[in-house]
Amino acid sequence: MTETTVASTPTDYGKAYRVDGKVALISGAARGLGAEMARALASAGARVMLTDVLESAGRATAAEICAAGGKAEFMRLDTTQEAQWEAAVAATIASFGGLHIVINNAGIERLQFITETTVEEFRLVMDVNVTGVFLGCKHAVRAMRPGGPAGQGGSIINLSSVAGLAGVTGLGSYCASKGAVRLLTKSVAVECGQLKLGIRCNSIHPGLVGTNMGRDLLQHFVDLQLVPDAAAATAAFEGAHPIGRMGSPDDIASAALYLASDAAKWVTGAEFVIDGGYTAI
> What CA–CA distances, in Å, run from 279 to 1, 195, 214, 241, 273?
29, 33, 17, 8, 8
The active-site residue out of 13, 174, 258, 278 is 174
pLDDT, position 236: 84
174 assigned to active site = yes
Give domain status of residue 11, yes or no.
Answer: no
> 242 and 143, same structural domain?
no
What integer is the mean pLDDT of 221-249? 86
> 101 and 216, same structural domain?
no
Task: Say which CATH number the domain at 83 has.
Answer: 3.40.50.720
Q: Quote the mean pLDDT of the chain.
A: 94
Measure the CA–CA gap between 176 and 156, rounded to whole angstroms: 21
> With contact defined as beta carbons under 8 Å apart, do 160 and 271 qualify?
yes
* Per-residue model confidence as pLDDT tens digits over 105-153: 999 999 999 999 999 999 999 999 999 999 999 999 999 999 999 999 9
pLDDT, position 1: 52
Give domain status of residue 52, yes or no.
Answer: yes
CB contact set of 240 (below 8 Å; sequence gap of 6+): 278, 281
Q: How far does CA 72 lie from the centroid of its chain?
A: 18
> 162 and 40, same structural domain?
yes
pLDDT above 70 (res 15): yes
Give domain status of residue 218, yes or no.
Answer: yes
For residue 125, which of 184, 186, 79 has the smallest C-alpha distance? 79
> 257 and 179, same structural domain?
yes
Give domain status of residue 6, yes or no.
Answer: no
The alpha-carbon radius of gyration of the chain (Å, integer) is 19
pTM: 0.94
What integer is the mean pLDDT of 224-232? 85
pLDDT above 70 (res 231): yes
> 185 and 46, same structural domain?
yes
> 230 and 135, same structural domain?
no
Band the pLDDT of 6: cuts 50, 70, 90.
low
Give domain status of residue 101, yes or no.
Answer: yes
Measure the CA–CA gap between 162 and 179, rounded to whole angstroms: 9
pLDDT, position 223: 83
> 218 and 83, same structural domain?
no
> With contact defined as beta carbons under 8 Å apart, do 276 and 245 qualify?
yes
> With contact defined as beta carbons under 8 Å apart, do 22 and 44 qualify?
no
> 189 and 148, same structural domain?
yes
Q: How far does CA 54 lie from the centroid of its chain?
A: 17
Measure the CA–CA gap between 73 and 47, rounded to whole angstroms: 8
- Percent of the chain exceeding pLDDT 70 equals 97
Number of domains in the chain: 2
DSSP string, the chain: ----PPP-PPP-HHHHT--TT-EEEESS-SSHHHHHHHHHHHHTT-EEEEEES-HHHHHHHHHHHHHTT-EEEEEE--TT-HHHHHHHHHHHHHHHS---EEEE-------B-GGG--HHHHHHHHIIIIIHHHHHHHHHHHHHSTTSSS-S-EEEEEE--GGGTS--TTBHHHHHHHHHHHHHHHHHHHHHHHTT--EEEEEEEE--BSSHHHHHHHHHHHHTTSSSSHHHHHHHHHHHSTTSS-B-HHHHHHHHHHHHSGGGTT--S-EEEESTTGGG-
* Per-residue model confidence as pLDDT tens digits over 50-62: 999 999 999 999 9
pLDDT, position 8: 62
pLDDT, position 5: 53
pLDDT above 70 (res 213): yes
> 145 and 60, same structural domain?
yes
Tell me which residue range forms the domain holding 268.
Answer: 19-108+125-207+247-274
> 82 and 37, same structural domain?
yes
pLDDT, position 4: 54
> 141 and 72, same structural domain?
yes
Give domain status of residue 51, yes or no.
Answer: yes
* Per-residue model confidence as pLDDT tens digits over 161-208: 999 999 999 999 999 999 999 999 999 999 999 999 999 999 999 999
pLDDT above 80 (res 104): yes
Measure the CA–CA gap between 91 and 105, rounded to whole angstroms: 19
pLDDT, position 10: 84
Give domain status of residue 117, yes or no.
Answer: no
> 129 and 101, same structural domain?
yes
What integer is the mean pLDDT of 98-106? 98
Give domain status of residue 116, yes or no.
Answer: no
Q: Per-residue b/e over 73-84, b at no fewer than 16 CB within 10 Å?
A: bbbebbbbeeeb
